[in-house]
Structure 1
Amino acid sequence: MSVKISVVLPVYNVANYLRKCLDSLVNQTFKDFEVICVNDGSTDLSLGILEGYALTDSRFRIISQENQGLSGARNSGIKEVQGDYILFVDSDDWLEENALELLYDHVKGFDSDITMFKFKFYNEDSGEFSESSFTNLDVIDPSFYTGNFNYYDVLDILFKISHAPFNKLYKTSFINDLDAQFLHGSYYEDLEFFYKVFLKAKKVSVLPEYLYSYRIREQSISTSGDEGSFDIFNILESTKNNLIDSDIYDKVKKDWLLFIIVNLKYVYLRLQIELKNKFLDSMKQHYDDFELGDVDNFDGWHYEDQSFYKAISVSNNYEIFDLNYEKGNYEFLAKHFETLSNELRAENESLKQQLNNKDSSEGIFKRFVKL
């Protein structure tokens, strides 16, 4: 069966969310697609739900395997793809019903290796949607919307582009030519996969439409903070090598060093407390490998990233590290608000002087009128 788009859908114990995801696919206005459902060793009712949909819709194919994790499930799906393009969807998320139609209409004209589109976060607890420059692609200048570009055109924002796999449509022949796979059994495989393929893409385009909703829930891998969190070090090392292989490392090194700190901070702040000392030790061990000593200024750094970076080299355990991190944050804020307070006082004095001058002028005017 030849189709235009193959949707790769890894499924693992998401029975409570799966139907919403599957319904968003069944109801697509575009019909020429397949869904490769990779049942990754689910122990709940997920497989039964998949079988129900596959029974009534031949576009749904089920592959069952022992649990291999998200990366292993995606890789299994890639091997079964029959479509011209690949879209990765997480089974607790959902697509807008016109998503595939808009994507295919777009890519017919652009013939892109990768097409990026917008998405929104959905907070399961609050029921609210949110977005950021990470999700709405605002970091990409609208001038790039009218044609294809490549990584070299966007070196200044290379580390600000979303590396999520689910808000991108990939040309199947491009992925197959690279023999691109997700790093098996690893957390943060999305990051490694994105830069591995993005730095090889000759034609990248943007469809500035919100087509995907990403569910944030407490039990997701991204919020677990367990031993798998240490995979970030291998992922960053591998990505650094990809930058070197693409001959752009020196050109983007300053931004890359900030990117390292941003990711280490993201992981550390979500880490289980009993793993923090080990993680701090790992940061120190990788300090020279990551060339963190080459940071020479903090232009463009958020103050929390500065504090986190400074705390690494002066802390021997996580308790001291946390104190140094908080101390750095408060020192910055105290200085910032002291400066702001002084500016406000100066502005207040200026306004008082203007009022005094105005009162004085009006007094002179009144005396002149009386005369």
Structure 2
Amino acid sequence: MVEVSVIIPVYNASDYLEESLDCILNQTLDDLEVICVDDGSKDNSLEILNEIASRDSRVKVFHQENRGGGAARNVAIPHATGNYIYFMDADDKLKDYALEKCLDISKQKNLDFLLFKAINYAEDTGEYFETDDYSMNEIAEAVGDKVFSYDDLGDLVFKMSVTPWCKFYNRNFVVNSGAKFAEGLIFHDNIFFYDSLFYAERISFLDEVLYIRRRHSASSTAAGDRRYINYITISDMIWNIFFKHNVFDTYKAELATKKFGVINYWYKNIQEEHKQAYFDEMKGDFERIAEDKKFYEYITDSLVDWQRNILDSGLEADIPEEYDLMMENYDLEIENRHLRELLDEPIYKIAVSKIRK
């Protein structure tokens, strides 16, 4: 048995694969295995993997027909023999001491998983930049270097990055939790993360950037293509996980914000040619919520105005253009409301009265 199993799903990553694998194989921690699952790549990724495996026995290569990164990770987990599991993406990089440091902290604190920071690398410009999603500064400030669980965070659980590559997992914990990645869908990491989060009793945060996430046009969530429709299914799966762990009522308001806000966000950002298909899925999802009147009332009593407007507009509109008009009208109403409130302030009333004189 090795100390760490690194799991890497691979799909058409030939431009970056050798660099990413080098940063794992050249870690200061040598006692590791690298489990690569080629997810039906159409380039020469599989050939690159086999060539690297031929010269480094720590690399194990599996191949499957294209089923998505979630399925690839699920396939790899049973093959992992390490005491700990780390999930890596095939086009990103990890600092060379990262695994050793994560291992030391995880052993010392007897953790279910360790959370750490990541930074973005813009391939087009060569610039590095931080984002709140991966810096998680609010989490760092709240927990320090203490051991904690979700119960200690309140609504900060939604400030934790769902990505698997900024976490270092105890393998027995992963196996015993039974957490799985959603298959055939992008945003599949949401499901694994929330399920494992609610099982975890011992989590810690390392306030240090260890992971470099490459941002480029080929990224699975950068294209705005038909796969964005997946989020509607994922949002239902997230709700189901919160129900499963009996915490839905605790986080109902935040879950409503996450579901309706993000669904509307992806609607606005999907390519025009897929907008009708997205709208149809969105409307169908909202209609399923409305069909159960008791559940509909339970959900809507926690919605603020803009969330309720997204739900009501999705239910009432028959075509995307009608939904767009309803959303625009709502924005105008909010703007007018703010102007009326502004004009009601004493200083503006005095100014208006002077103008009229």
TM class, shorter-length: 0.7 to 0.9
User: Does residue 352 of structure 2 align to residue 323 of structure 1?
Assistant: no
1:40 maps to amino acid: D
Contact 1:224 1:270 in 2 (8 A): no
Q: Report percent identity of matched pairs.
A: 33
Alpha-carbon distance, 1:121 to partner: 2.0
DSSP 3-state at the match of 1:250: coil
Q: How well do the aligned residues superpose, as a CA RMSD in angstroms?
A: 2.8
Alpha-carbon distance, 1:298 to partner: 6.6
Alpha-carbon distance, 1:335 to partner: 5.8
Contact 1:257 1:292 in 2 (8 A): no
CA 1:191–1:151 in structure 2 vs 1: closer, same or farther (change >3 Å)?
Answer: same
Paired position in structure 2 for 1:352: none
User: Does residue 45 of structure 2 align to residue 43 of structure 1?
Assistant: no
Contact 2:253 2:302 in 1 (8 A): no
Paired position in structure 1 for 2:26: 27
In 1, Cα distance between the equivalents of 2:209 and 2:140?
A: 17
DSSP 3-state at the match of 1:214: strand
In 2, Cα distance between the equivalents of 1:185 and 1:168?
A: 22
Paired position in structure 2 for 1:266: 265
In 1, Cα distance between the equivalents of 2:188 and 2:176?
A: 20
TM-score (norm 2): 0.85
Q: Once the two structures are superposed, what CA deviation does each residue of 1:38-64 show, in whole Å capped at 9, x if it has no partner?
A: 122223221232233223322222122
For residues 41-80 of structure 1, the aligned pairs below 5 Å read 41-80=40-79
Alpha-carbon distance, 1:252 to partner: 1.0
Over alpha carbons, which structure has the higher Rg?
1
In 2, Cα distance between the equivalents of 1:330 and 1:90?
A: 43
Which sections of structure 2, spanning at least 5 residues, go unmatched? Answer: 290-294, 352-357
User: Does residue 213 of structure 2 align to residue 197 of structure 1?
Assistant: no
CA 1:214–1:309 in structure 2 vs 1: closer, same or farther (change >3 Å)?
Answer: farther
Alpha-carbon distance, 1:83 to partner: 0.5
Q: How many residues align?
A: 343
In 2, Cα distance between the equivalents of 1:308 and 1:123?
A: 33
For residues 173-184 of structure 1, the aligned pairs below 5 Å read 173-184=172-183
2:265 maps to amino acid: Y
Paired position in structure 2 for 1:247: 246
TM-score (norm 1): 0.82
Alpha-carbon distance, 1:103 to partner: 0.8
Q: Once the two structures are superposed, what CA deviation does each residue of 1:156-197 show, in whole Å capped at 9, x if it has no partner?
A: 222222111111111100111123321222222111111111
Paired position in structure 2 for 1:104: 103
CA 1:342–1:280 in structure 2 vs 1: closer, same or farther (change >3 Å)?
Answer: same
1:321 maps to amino acid: Y
DSSP 3-state at the match of 1:91: coil
Paired position in structure 2 for 1:129: 128
Paired position in structure 2 for 1:357: none
